[in-house]
Amino acid sequence: MKHNFGAGPCILPQEVFKQASQGVLNFNDTGLSILEISHRAPEFIAVMDEAISLVKELLNVPTGYSVLFLQGGASLQFAMVAMNLLEEGQTAAYLETGMWAKKALAEAKIFGNVNVVASSKDANFNYIPKNYSIPKDSAYFHCTSNNTIFGTQLHNFPASPVPVACDMSSDIFSRSINVADFGLIYAGAQKNIGPAGATLVIVKDEILGKVTRQIPSMLNYKTQIEGESMYNTPPVFSVFVSLLNLRWLKSKGGIAVIEQENEAKAKALYTEIDRNPLFKGTTTVEDRSNMSVCFVMENPDHEKAFLKLAEDKGCVGIKGHRSVGGFRASLYNALPITSVHVLIEAMQEFQEKN
């Protein structure tokens, strides 16, 4: 059995794979595959409508917000956010907490001024900055909720005098959030939503349409809203599997239940990291991520041997990003706590042998 700790594309529920495979062969008894059905067919329009409805239900999205399934990943959103919200001559406030935040602010600089209100790059992004202020004249404030490479997470979001745009690619649907605190939320699907190909956007309607620049139709949120996520052919299969995954999440009891499970998984693994003298965490304790657990060995010479032991036990995807080294265990929604226990047992066995 494989225990998939990969950072993304990542683990999805087995029952979702089974349902998706059936849809590939014969979608809803149409005699056609989901891969070949028209995105204008009533059967797929129903898929899109239900997926959007479940996003709103699971996250308690208030009225006045639009939900979109787009393409291009979070990386395209780095540019779209600024293109749609940052007027020329204005300044946007950015919190720099890792590589993805750094890439987001670099794209924003193409369209206007960027003010980095706080950064943790001085310590290789191993903590979340505190006690910074967001200027009231900022066009918006941008942050990244979870940093997969460095293993930090914003457990509390700052009170902002301006709209907050947040990249939640790696922890959306993993914990409770108050959508009303944000002007715009975006997330690549390939973590807790579904397979790569779709990008979820939740945007407050009233913050749009205020820049004077001409925005290409495909990159204009208002155009996409008017087109109901189907201005052009959407990523049909990714949206379909996302729908199946959202149904699975609802059947489990929703965000409240999955949040408890995720906290239990993270607590178990961090407890072993702190207990085992061969391992140590790489981030400040209060900023540790419940989704992306990063750790190294006290003796780096042991890392290859431990990686082999863990892989022999079926743990895949735990090798750390080259920026940090060591190990990274991604604890996304579909990963069962039994897989975490297998990794913990491997750590304990390695301690006994060394």
Query: Catalytic: which of 2, 56, 167, 248?
Result: 167
Active site residue 167: yes
Query: Catalytic: which of 2, 29, 56, 100?
Result: 100
Rounded CA separation 194/352 (Å): 39
Query: Catalytic: which of 171, 191, 248, 265?
Result: 191
CA separation, residue 37 to residues 34, 47, 239, 277, 333 (Å): 5, 12, 13, 55, 29
Helix orientation angle between 236-252 and 14-25, rounded to the nearest 10 degrees = 140
Active site residue 301: no
Rounded CA separation 142/86 (Å): 11
Q: Is the dihedral of CA 113, 117, 122, 126 positive or negative?
A: negative
Find where tokens 């947040």 sit.
Answer: 166
The 3-state DSSP class for residue 45 equals: helix
Rounded CA separation 287/269 (Å): 15
Residues in contact with 46: Cβ distance below 8 Å, sequence separation at least 6, in sequence order: none
Active site residue 191: yes
Question: Which residues participate in catalysis according to the annotation?
Answer: 100, 167, 191
